[in-house]
Chains A and B, each alone.
Chain A
Amino acid sequence: MYTFTQNTKSICFALIAIGIVAIGYGFYSASKTHYSDAEIKVKVKELYKGLSNKNKIKKDKHHASSVYKFSHLFHAIEKEFHCHFSEEEIANAQSIDDVIYRTKHYFHAKKQRPWSSLFVSNLFFLMISLGGLVWLAVQYISQSGWSASLLRIPQAVSSFLPFGGAIMLFIIITGALHWHHTYHWMDSSLTYEYVYENTIGTDHPQYTDEKVAGVVKNKKYDYIIDGKTAYLNIPFFIIRAIIYLLGWCLVAFLLRRYSLNEDKEGGLKWHNKMFALSAMFIVFAAITTSTGAWDWIMSIDTHWFSTLFGWYSFASFFVSACAVIAIITIHLKYSGYLENVNENHMHDFGRYLLAFSIFWTYLWFAQYMLIWYSNIPEEVTYYLIRFESYHILIIVALILNFMTPMLLIQDRAAKRLKGQVLFVAILILIGHFIDVFVMIMPGTVGTHWHLGFVEIGTFLGYVGFFTFVVLRALSKVPLDQKNHPMLIESKHHHI
């Protein structure tokens, strides 16, 4: 029986407090300096006029040195609105409309920032929890003996699913209510070809697909997104999310109950039931992790698609889940529990981490290389923004997720050391958080990204929240499954 000490609890609560402060600060600072689109348009035009009168902006559009012709305007805007533009944004502006668009974009990103950081952390820990459940199911269907004495740990990891799932649903529903713009395609103005002329400029323009009297072409119409509405529409999206989350939570609940029944009754009955349920769950998880990744992550960059995205993101979450299970096992080992777990089990954790880190790198590179080689505009946009604005994070993620496991736990002796596996597992966890960050942020806050107090604070808050939920679930049931048929094999596991 694991006791959740007051000391660990206090650390969790402190981390949760940091998280709440960080996300609260994020929402506060986003709401404090927010300008509406109309306000921005009016003010930028005023500034433009003022500067034009002073002859600071050359009106000759074909002038050779027109590259920085809007730089004065941008600087005036920076002063007026207290914002900041990158060199590229300033250099690439071609007209006054571009300047207005850029300014609007800056404030949209600012408003989106706390939502995105909440979304990144929540998705990361929700999917780790799911990865833990898949890991548990894999142990059952592969009839693994080595892990039999530590299966309560992935069980406890999967107990975070309802919490993460509830917040995920909250984020999706608030997105559908247009509180934030994580999912660009939820904007209904993009999918209608025509708009009623008399409603343009009002707060709620009326759109239609039919060419009737009184309509004009909708300027915002996006035919690519319109072509995807059969799959990407709000009701179906929410129904899918509920199906995934209910399915995952149900399996997590059943596997936990079956294993508790096995403790009470013994015999092979419950073990066989868990085997059958795990086999069915693996099929369900194989489909839902792919479609879930398309829905929740890939649809952020709505125009873009990649066929192996589901596996790529799942590889990321699965290796993170392996790292979390290894970290909790080592924590329990350091606190004097799990006397049957020894360096042979560490060796297996090391192999899991190394193998899935390389699997992740393989999928990352497979996706990248095909897009780089074919160089099709609709695909390459995904990496364009990432390589221009997020290259530091991509390099750090590749070093943490590929180079560190490759170099630090390749050796047999290294895999058998608790401390070394723990160190690499923590680095992998940080690396994959950065990887998820790079999956989400370019499509939501664009070039105006930060990895500052709001993002890191929210992440730390989630670390506390997740640890609290998982360790509390772990402390409620006996740490050993006393009637698991392969306990003896696990005890004498030797490699």
Chain B
Amino acid sequence: MSKEKIIYGVYGDDDVILDAVKAIREKGHHIDEVYTPFPIHGLDTAMGLKYSRIAICSFIYGCIGASCALFMFWYIMIHDWPMNIGGKPSFTLNENLPAFIPVTFEMTVFFGAHLMVITFLIRCGLYPGSSSKSPDPRTTDDKFLMEIHTNGDAKKIKEIKDLMKKTGAEEIKEKE
């Protein structure tokens, strides 16, 4: 077994790379990553990526937010320092609930949004000080890059390179 090799194909158009991804995957090759300057509609399904589970995270974070808000209200307004606001001195969470709903809603959105962004950044490895993982800085400008990992099998590498050329790659690079 020879060493692992990575093949990069640089494309110049989003439609071209989308068709290329479909064609190469049809031939049974696994595409590891595609770097693009903007989101391309349908690319994730074409690459065969699993649907993002961030929606499930967001639901859980929302539930945490709602519970935190209700606990906060119970502690502040009912338990620690009961307050009579607007003639509603019933002093139980249940009976004063309508007054707490708007802020509970806000807290749900706040927790959902912020924790989701943090999860997303962690999952992408975008912590402060991290360096760019893109192999070619032009993918932030006008180029689209496809990355395929191979086990160094020369025949396979040639096949992939040919496929990339056929599907309209402008440049093909190889890296150990």
Binds B, one of A105-113, A368-376, A483-491: A368-376
Complex: chain A residue closest to B59, CB-CB = A410
Known: A365-B101, A412-B51. A375 touches B42 (CB 8 A): no
B88: interface (CB < 8 Å): yes
Q: Which of B59, B87, B99 contacts A369 (CB 8 A)?
A: B99
Given the known interface contacts A372-B98, A411-B55, A412-B55, the answer about A494 and B86 at a Cβ–Cβ threshold of 8 Å is no
Residues of A contacting B41 in the complex (Cβ-Cβ under 8 angstroms): 494
Q: Are B99 and A373 in contact (CB under 8 A)?
A: yes
Chain B residue at minimum C-beta to C-beta distance from A410: B59
Q: Interface size (B, Cβ < 8 Å)?
A: 12
A494 to B42, CA, bound (A): 8
Residues in A whose Cβ lies below 8 Å from that of B88: 373
Q: Which residues of B contact A413 (CB under 8 A)?
A: 51
Tell which of B55, B98, B99, B102 has the most Cβ of chain A within 10 Å.
B98
Q: How far is the CA of A494 from the CA of B59 in the complex (A)?
A: 25
Say how far B96's CB is from chain A's closest CB, in angstroms.
10
Q: In whole angstroms, how far apart are the Cα atoms of A372 and B59 in the complex?
A: 29
Q: Which residues from 72 to 106 on chain B have a C-beta closer than 8 Å to any C-beta of chain A?
A: 86-88, 98-99, 101-102
- By beta carbon, the residue of chain A nearest B85 is A373
Residues in A whose Cβ lies below 8 Å from that of B42: 494
Q: Is the interface of A mostly helix, strand, loop or mixed?
A: helix
Separation of A408 and B162 alpha carbons in the complex (Å): 48
Write the A361-388 contact mask toward B (1 if CB under 8 angstroms, else 0). Answer: 0000100110011110000000000000
Q: B98 contacts which of A369, A410, A494 (Cβ < 8 Å)?
A: A369
CB distance from A9 to the nearest CB of B (A): 42
Kindly supply a per-residue 1/0 record for chain A positions 457-495, scoring 1 wherever the CB is within 8 Å of any chain B CB and 0 otherwise. Answer: 000000000000000000000000000000000000010
- B101–A373 contact, CB under 8 A? no
Q: Contacts A373-B86, A375-B87, A494-B42 hold; do A368 and B98 have CB atoms under 8 A apart?
A: yes
User: What residues of A have a CB within 8 angstroms of the CB of B102 in the complex?
Assistant: 369
For B87, the chain A residues whose CB sits under 8 A away are 375
* Neighbouring B residues of A368 by C-beta, 8 Å: 98
In the complex, A395→B55 CA distance in Å? 28
Cβ contacts B125-168/A at 8 Å (1 or 0 each): 00000000000000000000000000000000000000000000
A413 to B52, CA, bound (A): 12
Q: A206: shortest Cβ distance to chain B, in Å?
A: 46
Interface residues of B in 102-129 (CB under 8 A from A): 102
Contacts of A494 in B (CB 8 A): 41-42
Q: Give the distance in Å from the alpha carbon of A323 to the alpha carbon of B41 in the complex.
A: 28
Q: A368–B87 Cα gap in the complex (Å)?
A: 16
Q: Which residue of A lies closest to B56 (CB)?
A: A411
Let me know if A373 and B98 touch, CB within 8 A. Answer: yes
The CA of A369 and the CA of B55, in the complex, are separated in Å by 30
Query: In the assembled complex, which residues on chain B have CB atoms less than 8 Å from the CB atom of A375?
Result: 86-87
CA distance A411 to B52 in the complex (A): 12
Alpha-carbon distance A411/B54, docked complex (angstroms) = 11
Docked Cα-Cα span, A135 to B3, in Å, equals: 61
A156 to B164, CA, bound (A): 51
**Cβ-closest chain B residue relative to A407:** B59
Cα A422 to Cα B54 with chains together (Å): 26
- A337-374 residues at the B interface, CB under 8 angstroms: 365, 368-369, 372-374
Q: Collect the chain B residues with CB atoms within 8 Å of residue A374's CB.
A: 86
| A494→B87 CA distance, assembly (Å) | 53
B36-63 toward A: CB 8 Å interface, digit per residue (1/0)?
0000011000000001000100010000
A369 near B101 with CB under 8 A, answer: yes
In whole angstroms, how far apart are the Cα atoms of A369 and B98 in the complex? 6
Distance between Cα atoms of A373 and B42 in the complex (Å): 49
Q: For the complex, what is the distance from the CA of A365 to the CA of B101, rounded to whole Å?
A: 9
How many angstroms between the C-alpha atoms of A373 and B86 in the bound complex? 7
Residues of B within 8 A of A365 (CB): 98, 101
Tell me the complex Cα distance, A411–B42, Å: 19
Q: State A368–B99 Cα separation when bound (angstroms).
A: 11
Kindly state the separation between the CA atoms of A413 and B51 in the bound complex, as whole angstroms: 10
Q: How far is the CA of A368 from the CA of B98 in the complex (A)?
A: 9
B32 to chain A, nearest CB (A): 24
CB distance from A424 to the nearest CB of B (A): 17
A402 to chain B: closest CB distance in Å?
Answer: 12
Measured between beta carbons, the chain A residues less than 8 angstroms from B86 are 373-375
Shortest A308–chain B CB gap in Å is 15
- Shortest distance from the beta carbon of B37 to any chain A beta carbon, whole Å: 21
Residues in chain A near residue B51, CB distance under 8 A: 412-413
Q: Which residue of chain B is the closest to A365 with respect to CB atoms? A: B101
Q: How far is the CB of B86 from chain A (nearest CB, A)?
A: 5
Taken together as a complex, chains A and B put the C-alpha atoms of A373 and B98 apart, in Å, by 8
B interface residues (Cβ-Cβ under 8 A, vs A): 41-42, 51, 55, 59, 86-88, 98-99, 101-102
Interface residues, chain A, with chain B CB atoms under 8 Å away: 365, 368-369, 372-375, 410-413, 494
Given contacts A369-B98, A374-B86, 5 further A-B contacts (CB under 8 A): A368-B98, A369-B99, A372-B98, A410-B59, A411-B55
Q: List 13 A-B contacts (CB under 8 A).
A: A365-B101, A368-B98, A369-B98, A369-B99, A372-B98, A373-B86, A373-B88, A373-B98, A373-B99, A374-B86, A411-B55, A412-B55, A494-B41
* 5 pairs of A and B residues whose beta carbons are closest in the complex: A369-B98, A372-B98, A373-B86, A375-B87, A494-B42
